[in-house]
C-alpha cells in the first residue's frame, strides 16, 4: 500500500509547488502500483483508493460516499450497460494532437475557456488563432436548457397544490416530481451540453457566473426551488447574458423571481424590508467588503470597509416594492400578502409602487435615491451606485482571473483586466461601455500573463481544477459520453463537494476569494473543499470511470435502468489506439492533452516504464491497447500536473 496525502494536489504557488523530483517519485510510486494487480492507495488519514492493475482484477474503492468497485476483465471491445443497447468502441480517427508549443498553447486556452480540451477543439484553436476563436465563440448560438417552459406547477388552476398529485394515474409520481420540481433535469442538460456543446466559452462563463450569483436548489421555500422551470430560466439567463454588460446582468439578477425567492427580496414592503439581498448584492455580487486599488490590492495594505450595516439598510429600502410576475395561482395553504402576486418564476418581478419606500436614500459613490422615487427609478440608482464605485472593476476582474486562469495573478494583470472592464474595451473587442463582459473575458484570456508559456511554469501560477471541471475535462479529453446522471447531487457531485446547482450556501461551494489554510496571502479558492476525503474521491472518480461499474472493457458508469434517454457515462479510447502502439508516443500525447505538457521527462519515463512493452507491435491487440491507455490515463489524471490547471 502506498500512502499519499493531499499534497498530491499541491497547487503551484500555494505554499510551494512540488519539486520535479518529488513529483517523479510520486508518479513512479503510483505507476509501480498500477503495474501490480489489486494494488491500493491510501490517502493519509482517510480513504482507500483502488489502483487498477495492468491485468484486470478486483479491487475495492472506499471513501466518503464511494462505492466498492470491480475492474472489468479485458479481451473484447463491446459491453452492455443495464437499460441500454450495447455500446461499441470503434478504433476511430487517430488523435492528431502533436507536442509542439502551438499544441500546448491551444490546450491551455481550451482548458481555461471551456469545459476541457479535446483533440478537435485544439485543432480548431490552432487553425483560427486564439483571438479569432474567442471572437467566434462570442457569436455562436446559445445552448438552451429544456425545462424553462414547465410553468404549469404555478399557473394551473383548481388543483391541490402539487401538480404531480393532479396527474396521479397518468404519470409516475416520483418521475413527475423529479422532472417538474427538482434540479435533476437542469443538471442533466448541464452535463450533456458542457461535454458536447459548441458554445463552450459561453457555457463556461455562465457556470462561473452561477457561482457568483448563487441560486441554490437547497432550502428554497422548503423544496427544490419550488420548480424546475425557475432554476432552468435563471441559469439560462446567465448564459444569455454571459457576454453582455455587467450592469444589465445585475439588473436581471435583481429582478429574477428565483433570486428574489432565494435571498428574500420578493414581497419586501416599505415598512421593514429584509436586508438579505441588499447585503449580498454588495458583498458578493459587486463591490466586496474591503476597499481595493485598481490592481486588486487592498488600499493602504489593510481592509478598509466599503460599507456598514446602515448602508445595507439604505439599499434594502431602495429595493422594496417588488413582487412575483403576474400569472401565478395561489396554492391551497399558501399565504400571500394582499398586495402581492402568488409564486411565479416566469418573467421578471413586477413593481408595486405603493409598497416602495418613498424616502430619500443615500447610497455608495455619492448616489442618492430621491424621495418619491418609483421602484424602477430606485433600482437604477442602486445599479448606478455600484457601477460608479471604484471597487467594482477590480472585484470583478480578480474573480474572473481566478476562475479562468490562475488563483494568484500579478497586480499588473488584475489592473489590465480592470481597465478592460471599466473602459468596456480590450483592444478592438467590446462596446466601449463600462462593464462589457466580452471585453473583460477577452482581457482575462488573452493577457500575456495568461498566454505566456514561461509564466505558466512559475511557482505562483495555476489553479486547482474544481470538481465539475475535473469531471468534464476527463470526459471530453477521452471522447466520452455522459447523460450527467452520476455527476451531480447524491453521486460524484456530492463526494467531490460540488453538486451542481446545490451549493450549501449563497457563498458558493467554496469562497471565491478563499485563501490557502494557514496563509493570508495565497489564494486557493477550490482548496477549501479539498480535504482528504475529497482527494480520495477525485482518484475514485477516475478509477470508476476507467475501470468500474460497467461490464464494458472501456469502463464507464452504468446508465440508470428504465430511464428514458439514459446512456450512462463512458469513454471511447479508439482514437488513442494508434498512439498506444508506442508507449512513449502515447504518454507524450496524453501529457499534452491532459496537462498541457506539464509532466517532466522523469514523470513521463516513470509512466512509460509501468506500461507493457510493445516491442512486437503486430501482436498488440485493441484490448491490450485499451488497457495501456487506461493505465496511462489513470497515472496522469491523478497526478498534480493534471489536477492543477496551468
**How confident is the model over 628-646, as pLDDT tens digits?**
999 999 999 999 999 999 9
What are the cell numbers at 560?
Answer: 440508470
Q: Going by C-beta distance under 8 Å and a sequence separation of 6 or more, which residues neighbour residue 65? A: 494, 495, 537
- Say how many CA atoms lie within 13 Å of 547 toward its Cβ: 35
63 or 296, which is more confident? 296
pLDDT for 177 equals 84
The whole-number pLDDT of residue 355 equals 97
Contact 483, 568 (CB under 8 A): yes
Residue 234: name the closest of 349, 322, 396 by CA. 349
> Is residue 209 pLDDT above 60, yes or no?
yes
Instruction: Return the percentage of the chain with pLDDT > 70, whole number.
Output: 81
**Structural domain that includes position 185:** 144-196+215-283+307-387
Q: Give whole-number Cα distances, 538 to 66, 185, 638, in Å.
A: 10, 24, 8
- Report yes or no on 475 lying in a domain: no
pLDDT classification of 612: cutoffs 50, 70, 90 = confident
Name the residue with higher pLDDT: 12 or 599.
599
pLDDT beyond 70 at 243: yes
Judge whether residue 457 has pLDDT over 60. Answer: yes
Q: 555 pLDDT exceeds 50?
A: yes
Rounded mean pLDDT, 306-331: 96
pLDDT band at 308 (very low <50, low <70, confident <90, very high): very high
* Residue 614 to residues 227, 390, 573, Cα–Cα distance (Å): 56, 62, 18
Whether pLDDT at 87 is above 60: no
All cell numbers assigned to 600? 517532466
Is 367 part of any domain? Answer: yes
Region of 22 on the Ramachandran plot (φ > 0 left; ψ -120 to 50 alpha; else beta): alpha
Q: Phi and psi (nearest 5°) for 225?
A: 55, 15
User: Comparing C-alpha atoms, which of 615, 601, 610 is closest to residue 629?
Assistant: 610
All cell numbers assigned to 616: 512486437
Q: Where residue 623 falls among pLDDT bands split at 50, 70, 90? A: confident
Question: Does any domain span residue 480?
Answer: no
* Range in 8-17, 187-196, 417-426, 616-625 with the lowest mean pLDDT: 8-17
Q: Which letter does DSSP use for residue 324 in this model?
A: P
Q: How confident is the model at residue 174 (pLDDT cuts 50, 70, 90)?
A: confident
- 227: in domain: yes
- Residue 20: what pLDDT? 41
Measured CA to CA in angstroms, residue 408 lies from 290, 331, 377, 446 at distances of 18, 50, 39, 17
Decide if pLDDT at 6 tops 70.
no
The answer to whether the beta carbons of residues 49 and 63 sit under 8 Å apart is: yes
CA distance 215 to 505: 9
Residue 159: its pLDDT value, please?
Answer: 64
3-state secondary structure of 245: strand
Task: Indicate if the alpha-carbon torsion angle 405, 511, 474, 217 is positive or negative.
Answer: negative
Chain-centre distance for alpha carbon 423: 28
- Listed ranges 2-6, 540-544, 566-570; the one with the highest mean pLDDT: 540-544
Q: Confirm whether 59 is domain-assigned.
A: no
How many angstroms separate the CA atoms of 211 and 100, rounded?
35
- Span 266-281, average pLDDT: 96
Cα separation of 557 and 544, whole Å?
7
- Average confidence (pLDDT) over 244-271: 96
Reported as a single tens digit per residue, the pLDDT across 29-84 is: 333 333 332 333 333 333 333 334 333 322 333 333 333 322 222 322 222 222 33
Q: Scan for cell 450595516, then name that residue.
A: 309
Q: How confident is the model at residue 194 (pLDDT cuts 50, 70, 90)?
A: very high
Mean pLDDT, residues 97-124: 97
Give the Cα separation of 496 and 499 in Å (integer).
8
Domain count along the chain: 1
Question: What's residue 547's pLDDT?
Answer: 85
- Please determine, for residue 472, whether its predicted confidence score (pLDDT) is greater than 70: yes
Confidence band of 542 (pLDDT split at 50, 70, 90)? very high
Residue 368 in any domain: the answer is yes
Helices and strands, number each (H, E), in the chain: 27, 13
- Rounded to an integer, the average pLDDT of 242-260 is 98
pLDDT at 438: 98
Please state the rounded mean pLDDT for residues 388-414: 98
Give the Cα separation of 137 and 151 in Å (integer): 31
Does 328 score more than 50 pLDDT? yes
What is the average pLDDT across 580-604? Answer: 95
Identify the pLDDT of residue 378: 98
On average, the pLDDT of the chain sits at 84
**Pairwise pLDDT comparison (614 vs 623), residue with the higher score:** 623
**Going by DSSP bridges, is the β-strand pair 350-351/361-362 parallel, antiparallel, or unpaired?**
unpaired
Instruction: Give the Cα-Cα-Cα angle 541, 234, 505 (nearest 5 degrees).
Output: 55
Q: Is residue 92 very low, low, confident or very high in pLDDT (cuts 50, 70, 90)?
A: low
Q: How confident is the model at residue 166 (pLDDT cuts 50, 70, 90)?
A: confident
In a domain, 374, yes or no: yes
Is the pLDDT reported for residue 220 higher than 50? no
Give the H or E element holding residue 624.
helix 622-637
Q: Pairing between strand 2-4 and 39-43?
A: parallel
Evaluate whether residue 564 is within a structural domain: no
Q: What mean pLDDT comes out for the span 354-381? A: 98
Distant-in-sequence, close-in-space partners of 451: CB < 8 Å, separation ≥ 6: 105, 108, 109, 130, 445
The dihedral region occupied by 83, where left means phi > 0, alpha psi between -120 and 50, and beta the remainder, is: left
Strand partners, 4: 43
**Residue 271 pLDDT exceeds 50:** yes
More confident residue, 19 or 277: 277
Q: Is the dihedral of CA 504, 509, 510, 511 positive or negative?
A: negative
Checking if the pLDDT of 429 tops 70, the result is yes
Residue listed under C-alpha cell 479481451: 75
pLDDT for the residue 613: 74
Closest by Cα among 568, 606, 591, 460 to 521: 460
How many CA atoms are closer than 13 Å to the CA of 34, on its beta-carbon side? 28
Over range 326-349, report the average pLDDT: 90
| pLDDT mean over 527-540 | 93
Amino acid at each position: 500500500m502506498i500512502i499519499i496525502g493531499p499534497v498530491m494536489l499541491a497547487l503551484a504557488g500555494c505554499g510551494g509547488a512540488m519539486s520535479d523530483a518529488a513529483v517523479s517519485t510520486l508518479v513512479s510510486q503510483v505507476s509501480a502500483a498500477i503495474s501490480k494487480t489489486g494494488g491500493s492507495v491510501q490517502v493519509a488519514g482517510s480513504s482507500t483508493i483502488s489502483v487498477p492493475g495492468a491485468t484486470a482484477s478486483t479491487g475495492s474503492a472506499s471513501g466518503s460516499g464511494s462505492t466498492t468497485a470491480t475492474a472489468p476483465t479485458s479481451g473484447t471491445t463491446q459491453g452492455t450497460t443495464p437499460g441500454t443497447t450495447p455500446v461499441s468502441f470503434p478504433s476511430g480517427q487517430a488523435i492528431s494532437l502533436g507536442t509542439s508549443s502551438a499544441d500546448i498553447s491551444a490546450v491551455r486556452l481550451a482548458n481555461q475557456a471551456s469545459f476541457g480540451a479535446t483533440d478537435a477543439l485544439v485543432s480548431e484553436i490552432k487553425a483560427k488563432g486564439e483571438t479569432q476563436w474567442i471572437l467566434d465563440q462570442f457569436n455562436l448560438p446559445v445552448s438552451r436548457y429544456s425545462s424553462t417552459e414547465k410553468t404549469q406547477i404555478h399557473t394551473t388552476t383548481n388543483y391541490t397544490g402539487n401538480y404531480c398529485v393532479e396527474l396521479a394515474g397518468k404519470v409516475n409520481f416520483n418521475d413527475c416530481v423529479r422532472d417538474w420540481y427538482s434540479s435533476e433535469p437542469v443538471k442533466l442538460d448541464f452535463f450533456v451540453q458542457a461535454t458536447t456543446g459548441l458554445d463552450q466559452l459561453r457555457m463556461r462563463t455562465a457556470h462561473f457566473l452561477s457561482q457568483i450569483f448563487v441560486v441554490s436548489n437547497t432550502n428554497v421555500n422548503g423544496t427544490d426551488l419550488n420548480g424546475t422551470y425557475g432554476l432552468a430560466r435563471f441559469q439560462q439567463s446567465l448564459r444569455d447574458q454571459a457576454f453582455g454588460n455587467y450592469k444589465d446582468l445585475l439588473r436581471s439578477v435583481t429582478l429574477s423571481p428565483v433570486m428574489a425567492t432565494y435571498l428574500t427580496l420578493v414581497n419586501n414592503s416599505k415598512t421593514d424590508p429584509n436586508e438579505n439581498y441588499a447585503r449580498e448584492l454588495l458583498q458578493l455580487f459587486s463591490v466586496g467588503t474591503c476597499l481595493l486599488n485598481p490592481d486588486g490590492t487592498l488600499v493602504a495594505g489593510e481592509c478598509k470597509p466599503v460599507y456598514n450595516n446602515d448602508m445595507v439598510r439604505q439599499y434594502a429600502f431602495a429595493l422594496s416594492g417588488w413582487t412575483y410576475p403576474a400569472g401565478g395561482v395561489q396554492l391551497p395553504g399558501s399565504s400571500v400578502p394582499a398586495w402581492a402576486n402568488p409564486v411565479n418564476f416566469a418573467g421578471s418581478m413586477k413593481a408595486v409602487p405603493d409598497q416602495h419606500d418613498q424616502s430619500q436614500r443615500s447610497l455608495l459613490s455619492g448616489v442618492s435615491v430621491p424621495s418619491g422615487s418609483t421602484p424602477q427609478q430606485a433600482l437604477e440608482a442602486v445599479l448606478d451606485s455600484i457601477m460608479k464605485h471604484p471597487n467594482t472593476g477590480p472585484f470583478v476582474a480578480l474573480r474572473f482571473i481566478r476562475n479562468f486562469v490562475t488563483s494568484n495573478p500579478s497586480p499588473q494583470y488584475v489592473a489590465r483586466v480592470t481597465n478592460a472592464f471599466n473602459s468596456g474595451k480590450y483592444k478592438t473587442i467590446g462596446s466601449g461601455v463600462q462593464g462589457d463582459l466580452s471585453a473583460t473575458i477577452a482581457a482575462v484570456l488573452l493577457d500575456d500573463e495568461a498566454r505566456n508559456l514561461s509564466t505558466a511554469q512559475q511557482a505562483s501560477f495555476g489553479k486547482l481544477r474544481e470538481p465539475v471541471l475535473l469531471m468534464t475535462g476527463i470526459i471530453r479529453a477521452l471522447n466520452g459520453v455522459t447523460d450527467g446522471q452520476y455527476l451531480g447531487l447524491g453521486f460524484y457531485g456530492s463526494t467531490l463537494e460540488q453538486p451542481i446547482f446545490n451549493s450549501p450556501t449563497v457563498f458558493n461551494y467554496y469562497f471565491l476569494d478563499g485563501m490557502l489554510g494557514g496563509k493570508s496571502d495565497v489564494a486557493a479558492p477550490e482548496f477549501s473543499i479539498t480535504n482528504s476525503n475529497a482527494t480520495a474521491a477525485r482518484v475514485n472518480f477516475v478509477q470508476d470511470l476507467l475501470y468500474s461499474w460497467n461490464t464494458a472493457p472501456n469502463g464507464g458508469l452504468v446508465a440508470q435502468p428504465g430511464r428514458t434517454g439514459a446512456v450512462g457515462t463512458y469513454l471511447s479510447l479508439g482514437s488513442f489506439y494508434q498512439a498506444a502502439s508506442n508507449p512513449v508516443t502515447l504518454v507524450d500525447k496524453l501529457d499534452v492533452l491532459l496537462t498541457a505538457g506539464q509532466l517532466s521527462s522523469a514523470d513521463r519515463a516513470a509512466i512509460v516504464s509501468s506500461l507493457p512493452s510493445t516491442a512486437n507491435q503486430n501482436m498488440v491487440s485493441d484490448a491490450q491497447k485499451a488497457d495501456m491507455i487506461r493505465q496511462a490515463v489513470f497515472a496522469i489524471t491523478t497526478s498534480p500536473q493534471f489536477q492543477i490547471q496551468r
